[in-house]
Structure 1
């Protein structure tokens, strides 16, 4: 059963707002009006990606009987905003801290990989919606809006998965690699390919290839 403290809910909301704004700045080209217009769209992808990523860690931690709580990393919030003005997002506004006297590398790895796997699954769900909605997007403004939202959702979640699987510092990738190099290689390869495709080809091109257009 999930339990949240008031400080944890506060930290999640603050992190969500800052990360959403950071991605909006990057996607809006640092133009204030463009940032404001794209912010609600970005918040859908970030909201699903960031919140469910952290809940993935929390759920697996609590499954093993540990108490887990999300806490802000103030420096990470600053890095996210500053990096967004440089054209990328350092997406590490905080982390789920698992409290345990002892934890094996396997359990730590499984807790750590839960977040990126959630992002990969979400990215694929967003992509599937894009594929389903694309044929009707030519004559429906609602379909166009849904397609744009899901395109951004795919791109953001792919990036979040790949970024968190980088094996440096306290990112998830370090703990997953320590636990199982094979699983780390497979997951970062999937997330990396998805991210590169979204950055180089664009989601619409990916969808058109899938549909055979």
Structure 2
């Protein structure tokens, strides 16, 4: 059964708020009004991306019969906040800990890849929604706001996917690479291309390219 502890809910909420703030600072800099204005928009993409990423790990862990629980990493949150002032976010606020006496590299790899795959799927959903609403966003302020939310959701989730797939330390990428190098290459390539396009072209130009404008 999919269960949460009170401490887990608390840790997820704290991590969600702080990571959202970090992405807002990374985008708006030290402009307080800019941070406050963009924060609600950032929260949609980060909220979906961060929470569902962690739930992906938890769901697959529990599917294999293990107890899994998200735990906050205060030092990681502090480091994320510090890096945000330099224009990027080292997003490692915590992790889902899976409790098992023994686990194969395959199962560990499948649990680990679940989070980044969720981010890739969410990024594509946000991009599809942005593409659908873009024509009307040119004439409607409400649709324009929805487009911005979707564009940010695409960018944030693409970044979260490629970041977590890096084969560094205890990030997901290390465990996926240890399990299956081909799957790791394919997934990080997809996430990397999506992130590269987001950073170089921007979501709006990607959408315009898709619809042929």
TM-score range (shorter-chain normalised) is over 0.9
Q: CA deviation at 1:27?
A: 1.2
Correspondence list, 1:114-193, <5 A: 114-193=114-193
Correspondence list, 1:59-138, <5 A: 59-138=59-138
Size of the aligned set, in residue pairs, is 213
Q: Distance in 2 between matches of 1:207 and 1:30?
A: 29
Q: TM-score, normalised by structure 1?
A: 0.99
Stretches of 4+ aligned residues off by more than 4 angstroms = none
Q: Distance in 2 between matches of 1:29 and 1:92?
A: 20
CA RMSD of aligned residues (A): 0.4
Structure 2: where are the runs of 5+ without partners?
none
Instruction: Give the match's secondary structure for 1:153.
Output: helix
* Partner residue in 2 for 1:21: 21
Structure 1: where are the runs of 5+ without partners?
none
Q: Distance in 2 between matches of 1:194 and 1:96?
A: 25
Q: TM-score, normalised by structure 2?
A: 0.99
Q: CA deviation at 1:29?
A: 2.3
Q: Distance in 2 between matches of 1:28 and 1:144?
A: 19
Q: CA deviation at 1:30?
A: 2.2
Q: Distance in 1 between matches of 2:193 and 2:30?
A: 27
Instruction: Give the match's secondary structure for 1:170.
Output: coil
Instruction: Give the match's secondary structure for 2:167.
Output: coil
Q: Distance in 2 between matches of 1:85 and 1:207?
A: 29
Q: Distance in 1 between matches of 2:159 and 2:212?
A: 25
